[in-house]
Amino acid sequence: MKKSEWSDHELEQLLQQMPKIKDHRDPRDIYQSLSLKTKKRRAPAWIVPSVATLAAVLLLFILAPQVWQGNFQDSALKQESKDVLDNSDKMEMTKIMPDDDTKNGISSGHQDISIMAAPAETAIYEEELDEQQVITYTIPDQNAQIFVPVSVLVPKNSSWVELYQSQAEKLTEEQWGLSDYFPLNATLSMIDEKTMNIDVPEDHVYGNGSANETLFISILEETISRNENLQKITFSTNGNPGIMLGNYGERFEVNKPETKKKSYFIFRPNTQNSPFIVPGIEGFSDIAAALESMRAGNVTYGLEPSIPAEFVFDINVSSQEQLVLTFTGEEQLLDESKYVYCIEAILLTAKEFGYKSVKFENSPITQIGRFNMENEIKVPVAPNKVILH
């Protein structure tokens, strides 16, 4: 059929021009007449389902692309969700499952990257040495009350004293919240394998007042104690033996002192950095007393407790080589930084008393940071590792 060329408006105008038609029948008669005609002309029974079927086919034809696309997207979303869950499960397993290959109570480090980075330890351990050696500097805090040992790994291809001087120039004490003390205003040289000489200029500041003198000697004594390369430090001024230190008079040398056995605490001179684990002020003759002091800290010197209240254990000192700490069985520990610092403080304190390792028994958790709590853990080589640039 040819499509009508009349517009809706033109048809409407045409119908309005046609003569009016009036029907004088009663509306009920009209309704009855129409009903009878409708009954007589009722469609055969097969037509209704056929029409419904045809309508359904047409509707399916129209909607099929959208339905298919929707189903495809839904399947893709389901598959993507499944992949995410599968990967999440795999990574969660990576996070909680320790490496089977552990050494000296410390994970070997050959684990896949996990969702959350494990808490980092602060000290230097034996397996890190390889072809390197350790230099430890003793740096005073800003009040010159606390001595913070800071350790760096250096290659073995240079002399110890050359490395000690060169690395001292890279120290960033003020960024760490400590006193800017290094490098020393002096020339350092080795007299023999175990003796270092410090040659100062005539106008050196290390003898200006008793506080400066005491700090200078204390730092050097700590330096000797913490570096196995040294047994003695000698002094000279402009090449002449000795140094004038006011209240001390003229000093010619400092020998390795008899070290006090100290407990270790958490020290945060700069809250933006990781804390330092530092020795306290007081010395102890009994490791049980030293460990107990680590639960209290020292507010006067800004030393925080290093052993949390929930870290409860019994102490066994029957071995001279290994300290054994047995948990009571009621602890709820997590793989968190504060427990990593706690373990390191205990290890460093044990080292002060001559122990080579610490064994934690009946631990409620298998792994804390890099420490496998089911194996013995060797004490660190040196505290507070820093990387200098």
User: Does residue 141 belong to any structural domain of this protein?
Assistant: yes
Q: How many domains does the chain have?
A: 1
Contact partners, residue 386, CB within 8 Å, separation at least 6 = 150, 151, 152, 176
The per-residue pLDDT for 44 is 43
User: Does residue 106 belong to any structural domain of this protein?
Assistant: yes
User: Does residue 339 belong to any structural domain of this protein?
Assistant: yes
Neighbouring C-alpha atoms within 13 Å toward the C-beta of 255? 1
Q: Which amino acid is at 11?
A: L
pLDDT at 23 over 60: no
Identify the domain containing residue 337 by its residue range. Answer: 102-176+260-389
The per-residue pLDDT for 93 is 31
User: Does residue 23 belong to any structural domain of this protein?
Assistant: no
The per-residue pLDDT for 331 is 76
User: Does residue 118 belong to any structural domain of this protein?
Assistant: yes
User: Does residue 222 belong to any structural domain of this protein?
Assistant: no
CA angle 218, 219, 220 (to 5 degrees): 90
User: Does residue 117 belong to any structural domain of this protein?
Assistant: yes
Of 7-16, 47-56, 216-225, which one has max mean pLDDT? 216-225
pLDDT at 16 over 70: no
User: Does residue 163 belong to any structural domain of this protein?
Assistant: yes
pLDDT at 137 over 80: yes
Cα–Cα distance, 157 to 343 (Å, whole number) = 33
Mean pLDDT (whole number) for 92-111: 39
With tokens 């010395």, the residue in question is: 283
Cα–Cα distance, 382 to 264 (Å, whole number) = 13
